[in-house]
Structure 1
């Protein structure tokens, strides 16, 4: 009987070497695949621009501002949003990648939809004239004395009117068919007023013969579009109603 033990031993050693190599190589394959398939983390996900996050969450620095970020920045509670970094600009809102060029060396422009609640700007055609909304004309003008004004409020309605000098007085009630004089009010100043029964008011201003004095008469409005609820006196004596 031929002794086959040496041949069997060599075959076993050969198979052991192959299996050992596989054990070394195989764990590295999933790791390489995992590294290649790991996505880039988007710093400006689109959820920031969807409700309720659009009005409740402040976006990170460098991301396009959402509604809440814009409102807080306008109030001076946040720094002005910074310009997005090149990497954030490349990812864009929601992590969208730029489109594949239709021709070699030519990149198609990418359109970013406006943030919810905003209107996308429309560029005027070359040579077109952009209309400018005219400023509201003042309802009255008065001559001021040392940047102060005396305001006479006359309630000609049958119900109480609540009025307030913003930054100066608390809300006060003016009974129907009565009047009150606010003396030495510093301008510019805003005065709010409303009927306590929820109705509308028409307002009639009249400059007094006395310098630095203004009389304002409240009447009941039958048309809601005629209703007014605030008065603004500018430093130049111009009087506006809203």
Structure 2
């Protein structure tokens, strides 16, 4: 009985082992190294991507190439506009628009607001900004030349400024009207020690 079991076991073992021997030639040979590298590169075509931020935070920034120049600013003469700071005074080389006789180096200026808007004015170096209501006037007395007065409409509109010598010596009247053309607009008055009057 035992010999029959052993014989069946041996036959079964022979069948299994024989089948393995027959199937061994079907196993493919080793893959060439070039094919293995090609398949690996297809899986990760950019292996260096993991060495770049944000994956690798230990890398330092690359300094700029010393041979590359930064863009230079274009001067206004080449067509680029640059902001010009406002000038409170007037350039003396301008042609004066009027001339008055000063009273011992001093002048009185009468401001006449013919517009409906309030006007903010300031005597540079003498007063803070003040307001002149529409359709009203006031006199700035005893200003020592040279003197600069700035003015602007509080509603942002433009002003036509007309200076006119007064009948009183050492006095000047300055009337304000609404301007529709920005080229006519003025924002500062200057009186020089010789009595020359400039507008800007």
Please tell me the TM-score bracket, short chain as reference: 0.5 to 0.7
What is residue 218 of structure 1 aligned with on the other side? 176
Q: Is 1:234–2:192 an aligned residue pair?
A: yes
DSSP-derived class of the 1:143 partner: coil
DSSP-derived class of the 1:162 partner: strand
- Give 1:139 deviation, angstroms: 1.2
Q: Which deviations, in whole Å up to 9, do the C-alpha atoms of 1:59-97 show, x marking residues without a partner? A: xxxxxxxxxxxxxxxxxxxxxxxxxxxxxxxxxxxxxxx
**Take 2:115 and 2:136, find their aligned partners in 1: how far apart are those partners?**
9
- Give 1:119 deviation, angstroms: 5.0
What is residue 55 of structure 2 aligned with on the other side? none
- Give 1:50 deviation, angstroms: 4.5
**Take 2:100 and 2:190, find their aligned partners in 1: how far apart are those partners?**
12
What is residue 3 of structure 2 aligned with on the other side? none
**Take 1:228 and 1:199, find their aligned partners in 2: how far apart are those partners?**
11
**Take 2:75 and 2:108, find their aligned partners in 1: how far apart are those partners?**
42
**Take 2:189 and 2:141, find their aligned partners in 1: how far apart are those partners?**
16
What is residue 184 of structure 1 aligned with on the other side? 142
**Take 2:183 and 2:77, find their aligned partners in 1: how far apart are those partners?**
26
Q: Is 1:143–2:71 an aligned residue pair?
A: no
Moved beyond 6 Å, runs of 4+:
none
Task: List alignment gaps of at least 5 residues for structure 2.
Answer: 1-68, 79-92
Alignment of 1:1-242 (within 5 A): 50=72, 116-117=74-75, 119=77, 135-242=93-200
Q: Which deviations, in whole Å up to 9, do the C-alpha atoms of 1:94-138 show, x marking residues without a partner? A: xxxxxxxxxxxxxxxxxxxxxx53659xxxxxxxxxxxxxx4321
**Take 1:202 and 1:151, find their aligned partners in 2: how far apart are those partners?**
17
Greater relative CO, 1 or 2 (CA 8 Å, sep 6+): 2
What is residue 55 of structure 1 aligned with on the other side? none
**Take 1:118 and 1:159, find their aligned partners in 2: how far apart are those partners?**
36
DSSP-derived class of the 1:225 partner: helix
DSSP-derived class of the 1:181 partner: strand
- Structure having the higher strand fraction is 2
**Take 2:162 and 2:132, find their aligned partners in 1: how far apart are those partners?**
16
